């Protein structure tokens, strides 16, 4: 039986249309490492209709050479919703966000951190990696929502939330190359010591080809570059 045969099923934590950039359907570990409980993690970004993955209105050359303002990225500031009800066990806010994005700089920072933490040093720092984040416990499963906008975290530790409650906004804090939501499930509250848990999304629509139809999916694990949205989303 494969690793993804019996995933924990939760709701999609975003509304509107999103593109899957990293997924366990593509490879395991999805981010190339088991560190931080992210063996089965997802990265979800918002892009426009141009060929490729354009997260910002700038043209390709301008984006590569000059970058752009963080808040102008399509996904920045979009609401993040609890994928399942439960108790908030951690809620970190106040991690700063770089106001501008430059592809080379962001990639270098991410690579530097990945190499350092892959070797087990320096000591893992949840805020440095996840930025502003929320961890919610549902039974024995813990969901991590990472890279949230400073000042957007809408819950506190010890608070009970229901599935669908807004808990923050998509941002660019921590080990991030552009505004996106990093989401994964794990078996402990502390990501430093947790192991990842396979995750599927209960109900969503998927568009696998840019001009293709939107198809309903139940308890699915989307593939890389799939466009997905909640059935309740209007766009």
DSSP 96: -
- The residues, ordered by sequence, that sit 6+ positions from 190 with a Cβ below 8 Å of its Cβ are 126
Residue 26 domain-assigned (yes or no): yes
Residue 234 domain-assigned (yes or no): no
Query: What is the pTM assigned to this prediction?
Result: 0.94
Residue 1 domain-assigned (yes or no): no
Could you report the per-residue pLDDT of 126-163, keeping only the tens digit for each?
Answer: 888 899 999 999 999 999 999 999 999 999 999 999 99
Residue 95 domain-assigned (yes or no): yes
Residue 3 domain-assigned (yes or no): no
Could you report the per-residue pLDDT of 94-130, keeping only the tens digit for each?
Answer: 999 999 998 878 877 777 766 666 555 556 678 888 9
Residue 37 domain-assigned (yes or no): yes
Residue 137 domain-assigned (yes or no): yes
Domains contained in the chain, number:
1
Residue 27 domain-assigned (yes or no): yes
Query: Residue 101's CB: how many other CB atoms inside 10 A?
Result: 24
Q: What is the CATH number of the domain that holds 94?
A: 2.70.70.10
Question: For residue 186, what are the domain limits?
Answer: 8-229
Query: Residue 46's CB: how many other CB atoms inside 10 A?
Result: 23
């Amino acid at each position: 039986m494969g690793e993804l045969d019996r995933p924990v099923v939760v709701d999609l934590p975003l509304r509107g249309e999103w593109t899957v950039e990293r997924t366990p359907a593509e490879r395991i570990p999805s981010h190339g490492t088991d560190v931080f409980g992210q063996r089965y993690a997802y990265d979800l970004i918002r892009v426009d209709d141009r060929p490729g993955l354009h997260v910002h209105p700038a043209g390709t050359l301008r984006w590569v050479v000059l970058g752009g303002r963080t808040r102008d990225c399509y996904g920045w500031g979009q609401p993040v919703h609890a994928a399942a009800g439960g108790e908030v066990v951690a809620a970190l806010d106040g991690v700063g966000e770089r106001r501008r994005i430059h592809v080379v700089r962001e990639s270098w920072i991410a690579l530097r951190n990945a190499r350092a933490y892959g070797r087990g040093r320096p000591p893992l720092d949840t805020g440095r990696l996840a930025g502003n984040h929320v961890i919610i416990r549902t039974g024995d499963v813990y969901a991590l929502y990472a890279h949230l906008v400073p000042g957007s975290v809408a819950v506190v530790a010890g608070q009970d939330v229901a599935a669908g409650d807004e808990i923050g906004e998509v941002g660019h804090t921590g080990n991030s190359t552009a505004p996106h939501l990093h989401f994964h499930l794990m078996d402990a509250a502390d990501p430093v010591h947790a192991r990842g848990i396979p995750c599927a999304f209960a109900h969503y629509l998927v568009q696998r080809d840019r001009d293709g139809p939107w198809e309903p999916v139940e308890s699915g694990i989307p593939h890389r570059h799939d466009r997905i949205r909640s059935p309740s989303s209007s766009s």
